Structure 1
Amino acid sequence: MKEKIRNTATTLFLERGFKSITMDDIANELGMSKKTIYNEYSNKTELVEDCVMHKFCTLSEGIDSIAAMEKNPIVELYEIKKYVMSHLNDEKTSPQFQLMKYYPKIYSEMKKMHFDKMQKCVLTNVLRGKQQGIYRDNIDSEFVARIYYTGMNNIKDQNIFPIKLFPVAKLMDSFLEYHLRGIVTPKGRTILNTIINSNQE
């Protein structure tokens, strides 16, 4: 029962936001009473926390599985982006910023976990790319990993990148290309251009 509630609530939160979705909305969607939900969760904050942490763990496991394949590092980043996008419903309501505003404690905990995960993932990716000669030797790997994290988070701010001008899928593609063009070698650029051209077909 708890898993069913969590899955439904997560979908609703991602589609319409943490603030606008009420316990009544979740109960109606599930066709059950609020009392049944409160048997599993004492309040909405507890439910939000469970949804956020469970989604984070699911995404982390998926990213680990992709990284374990040890694909070409450029291909790996596109695979990870595709995987994350498919699990976040395009983040239509910018849930990260709603979480920050209405559930700051949960947001703070999630942000730390997200940074640790993403920094380690991108750093490993950069080091592998340098070893394979597709990323430039003279880049500061630690800087690149951290600036990628910072950029990926800030482009989700719809005050800066309004969704009407920058649909999420297009924005993510543009940012990833921007990131890679700054660090690839001529060999890496050939791989990148092949991926971009195949995605446009």
Structure 2
Amino acid sequence: MIDENKIIEKSSELYIKYGIKSVSVDDVAFVLGISKKTLYEHIENKNALIQKVVETNLFNFFDDILSKIEQEDDVFKSLCTIALYTLKMVGKTNPSYVHDLKKYHNSEYRKIIEFRDNKLFKTFENCLKKGIKEGMIIEDTDIRCAFFNQMLKISILNSESDFDYVGSPSVQKMYKMILNDIRGITTMKGHEILEQNYETLLHLK
């Protein structure tokens, strides 16, 4: 049975894989095996559909991250979980998706930026402050700078660039760079613990 949630889920899959401009409402209806008229009984128009897709994706993304790190006492595993989960999400997203949002649906694009700069940053900040309190992270670490250093590396996976080289960036390569960045802000105590668990963190799923 088709409902709004199913429409949003399938639309999200198509947008992330092909970009928004490349996917019409007819395409969504066809993949779902329904008529466009039936689809419009659940969704007002394409703009409303895109809004629901963005909001649902952000909600699910944040909920998944919180559910993973709330079970962790290990500050390094929490920081790595945030980085790796974000990398995986960005890595599977067609660059056209972000480009289309920014150009044609800027209000929805701004929601992603605001989510990154507020909710995601706050989660990262809480983890880093916990690490500082536990003596794992250097006390005078610039938390916002550390966060945006990670976000910049993550964004490379989704950037459209003419710069090409052998062995282009992958989720695992960028994750290793971020893990090494975390190593760079550890105290002596934190460094020792991180080194003991480095291989486990490097192959975190």
Q: TM-score, normalised by structure 2?
A: 0.82
Residues 155 and 161, structure 1, Cα contact 8 Å, conserved in 2: no
Q: Deviations over 1:75-117 (max 9, x none)?
A: 112223444456x383241232332123112101231122111
Residues 134 and 184, structure 1, Cα contact 8 Å, conserved in 2: yes
Q: Deviations over 1:150-179 (max 9, x none)?
A: 554455323277698434413441342243
Residues 15 and 92, structure 1, Cα contact 8 Å, conserved in 2: yes
Corresponding letter in the other structure for 1:104:
N
Superposed displacement of residue 61, structure 1: 1.3
Superposed displacement of residue 200, structure 1: 5.5
Residues 152 and 175, structure 1, Cα contact 8 Å, conserved in 2: no
Superposed displacement of residue 39, structure 1: 1.5
Residues 123 and 141, structure 1, Cα contact 8 Å, conserved in 2: yes
Q: Which residue of 2 aligns with 1:169?
A: 171
Q: Which residue of 2 aligns with 1:137?
A: 139
Superposed displacement of residue 128, structure 1: 0.8
* Residue 83 to residue 180, structure 1, CA distance change in 2 (3 Å): same
Q: Which residue of 2 aligns with 1:11?
A: 13
Residues 19 and 100, structure 2, Cα contact 8 Å, conserved in 1: yes
Unaligned segments of structure 1, at least 5 residues: none
* Distance in 2 between residues matched to 1:39 and 1:168, nearest whole Å: 41
Superposed displacement of residue 197, structure 1: 2.3
* Distance in 2 between residues matched to 1:10 and 1:163, nearest whole Å: 31
Q: Which residue of 2 aligns with 1:186?
A: 188
Residues 90 and 158, structure 2, Cα contact 8 Å, conserved in 1: no
Superposed displacement of residue 146, structure 1: 4.4
Name the % identity. Answer: 23
CA RMSD in angstroms comes to 2.8
Q: Which residue of 1 aligns with 2:119?
A: 117
Unaligned segments of structure 2, at least 5 residues: none
Superposed displacement of residue 124, structure 1: 0.7
* Distance in 2 between residues matched to 1:145 and 1:119, nearest whole Å: 7
Q: TM-score, normalised by structure 1?
A: 0.83
Q: Aligned residues, how many?
A: 200
* Distance in 2 between residues matched to 1:117 and 1:157, nearest whole Å: 22
